[in-house]
Structure 1
Amino acid sequence: MVLALPLRRGLVFLGLGGLLGLALVLGVGVGAVGVPPLEVVQALLGLKENPIVTELRLPRVLGGVLVGAALGAAGAAFQGLFRNPLADPYLMGAASGAAFGVTLLAAFGGGLAPAFAQHAVFQGLGLSATLAGFLGALGATLLTLVLAGGVARTGELVLAGVVVGSVLTGLTTYLMLQDADRVRAVFAYTLGNLAFLGWPGVRGLGLFLLLGLPPLLLLGRALNALQLGEEVAQSLGLPLGGLKLLLLLAASLLTASAVAQAGIIGFVGLIVPHLLRRLLGEDYRLLLPASALLGGALLVLADLLARTLTRPAELPVGVVTTLLGGPFFLYLLWRQRGRA
């Protein structure tokens, strides 16, 4: 029996909401120290004090939801903007650019943290870290576009993005390796880590998602028009220059806010939109909010694996997403080659 399209889409969003709720429950309750579900509920309601739940796991899980939502929505927006199924914040160099911007600010501002003290990689930078990351992400994306010769050249765009990202990652590592005591922190940050997210980081992420996510959601119809070609979009009366700039700024801001708090977590923005296209089609009015939901759930579940696979030690969550996303990316390349 084939379900009607509105009913199927409603069930998809219901399933995404359920998956996100399950991820939240598992993320707060499961870890090196197990917490019974009843104690989790009591701690969340303030009926019983449990610092493991309220001060360690809850901000980490909520931060993971926000980081995943930012990367998922940004990845869908990049793919729609460039009309390229291989584009995402990682492959376009935006994530590496954001990391380089934050590191550059910290290195010259004297705010480099010795070993992940407090809730983030850098101390004392506040909102300026996200601003520096935003400028770095925007600059890296523009450089990728210039080197590729425009958005139409899919192969050149991916290659340019990989080159730009690699160079910027190398520069980031060089800046942070100036002090040998920070080597471990360097690699943990480069691979992405949610372990040091605290309530200040969660509040900062929430603020920047409120700034960056609504413009993307409102521009879903414009992204649909862009999929038909720029000439068609212009014939519909869309101001393409302004819309593209707004999309690029909003997606870069989401990427920068995620990287500033959690480092480079690759492949979330690549995997999530592709999984959802099979269920929702190419309608970006649905794809963008769905990507935010699934991105948040996927990152929390990946972080849960990172915390439990080698416990009591932890893996950087970026390692888990890379192990999941690498084969998926190779599959996409193989599929693109087959179509060509």
Structure 2
Amino acid sequence: MITSSSLAAEARATSPGPPVSTVAGREASGEHLGGRGRPQRLRRRTDRVGGAWLPLALVALVLLVAFAAVTIGGTVTPAQTLSSIAGHLGLPVAPLSRLTDSIVWELRLPRVLLAAIAGAGLACCGLVLQAVTRNALAEPYLLGISSGASTGAVVVLVLGLGGGAISLAGGALVGGLAAFALVFGLMGGRSAGAGRIVLVGVVVGQFCSAVTSLILMAWGDADSTRGLTYWLLGSLAAARWSSVLLCAVVVGIVIIVLQSRASSLDAFAFGRDAAASLGVDVGTTRIVVLVCAALATAAIVSSVGAIGFVGLIVPHAARLLVGGAHRVLVPTSALAGAVFLMLADAVGRLLFAPQQIPAGVITALLGVPVFIMILSRRERA
């Protein structure tokens, strides 16, 4: 006997499931990604490291490495370092000799702080450029900014443009921003694809490098060539409080802006069309990210020269620690980049003391094997 209940059971058993339009609607809205368009997989990978304690541990590590970097070298003791810093902060401490105080406050502390700020900025810029271009090899110098900064520096150093009113760092800053303006003009606007951005950046970088070489060959002398070469290696020896202030303001603002775009950067992992379907304004987000990366990189390069590999390997190391969610990746990359560059500069100061090795040389020597190790681990995974 067929009853109404058996008919209902048969209907449920043979039901084809929800309509395709319903599934597509959930996919477009991001509901299947765990709410707010953020993949549940990214959340699980972030939670595996223990969300709260890792940033605190990295902050403690940054402070510990910074204090150690200021005190190493045998000239001042940790107690003298603390006394110098406390005295300049207005705390009641016994005064130090003028030489010791100058070593700590005018030489070492600005150098260490600039290394931390530059490392944080380069790491965050590399992170977001890898996200928006979907290119694992993207780094802050992808946009030709480093080559443009070199051109600006050599124009000031060799040709004397500005009549002494513009310093080497000022010329580098103007040159880096001019190179990015050229990239932005050739990029094709908001609709530019990731491949076009990379190609335009490479072309502009090569053009600026050619102009730099031409100026050095035609008008440069041995002293100017040697000085520019040392600057291009990336050195923190000329760090001053004015450079620290400039980079701190620019990098701080950039990191805040990038952190506010964390959800949009997550969506870029699925491609441009998928990000648009999740409600992300792809064109605006890409322009904002590129402008932020250009400003931070130009300010950093103008202060410390071209220091490579920080923006390339640190984001990959951060992803291995916390996964792919940018709300955690941005601060983690900033802290890890600060530690990495401070350690690189400290090694450069101690390795062949009293001769100092530029930090850019140390980051390259450390970066190549670390990057190979990261690639090998990702292949095994």
Q: Same fold (TM over 0.5)?
A: yes
CA distance in 2, matches of 1:223, 1:4: 15
The answer for the alignment partner of 1:295 in structure 2 is 337
2:194 aligns to what SS in structure 1? coil
**TM-aligned CA deviation for residue 94 of structure 1:** 3.3
Q: 1:21 to 1:97 in 2, by over 3 A?
A: same
Which runs of structure 2 are paired with 1:233-312 in the superposition (5 Å)? 233-312=275-354
Q: Deviations over 1:84-112 (max 9, x none)?
A: 11111134533223333444466566359
Paired residue for 2:236, among 178, 183, 194?
194
Q: Is the 8 A contact 1:23 1:297 kept in 2?
A: yes
Aligned length: 323
The answer for the alignment partner of 1:39 in structure 2 is 80
Q: 1:129 to 1:100 in 2, by over 3 A?
A: closer
CA distance in 1, matches of 2:180, 2:65: 29
**TM-aligned CA deviation for residue 43 of structure 1:** 0.6
**TM-aligned CA deviation for residue 195 of structure 1:** 0.3
CA distance in 2, matches of 1:176, 1:205: 28
CA distance in 1, matches of 2:206, 2:370: 20
Which runs of structure 2 are paired with 1:93-112 in the superposition (5 Å)? 93-104=144-155, 110=161
Q: Deviations over 1:188-242 (max 9, x none)?
A: 1111010001011111112212332221111111100111221222122222111
Q: Is the 8 A contact 1:73 1:213 kept in 2?
A: yes
Q: 1:332 to 1:126 in 2, by over 3 A?
A: closer
CA distance in 2, matches of 1:271, 1:142: 29
CA distance in 1, matches of 2:180, 2:126: 13
The answer as to 2:194 corresponding to 1:151 is yes
Which runs of structure 2 are paired with 1:1-340 in the superposition (5 Å)? 5=47, 8-31=50-73, 33-46=74-87, 47=93, 48-49=95-96, 50-104=101-155, 110=161, 124=167, 129-140=172-183, 150-151=193-194, 157=198, 165=205, 167-176=207-216, 178-330=220-372
2:227 aligns to what SS in structure 1? helix
2:82 aligns to what SS in structure 1? helix
The answer for the alignment partner of 1:116 in structure 2 is none
> 5+ residue gaps in structure 1?
114-121
CA distance in 2, matches of 1:71, 1:286: 17
**TM-aligned CA deviation for residue 7 of structure 1:** 6.5
> 5+ residue gaps in structure 2?
1-43, 88-92
Q: 1:138 to 1:276 in 2, by over 3 A?
A: farther
Q: Deviations over 1:137-156 (max 9, x none)?
A: 4535876999xx94259xx9
Opposite residue 323 of structure 2, the aligned amino acid is G
**TM-aligned CA deviation for residue 168 of structure 1:** 3.1
* Higher RCO, 1 vs 2 (CA within 8 Å, ≥6 residues apart): 1
Sequence identity percentage: 36
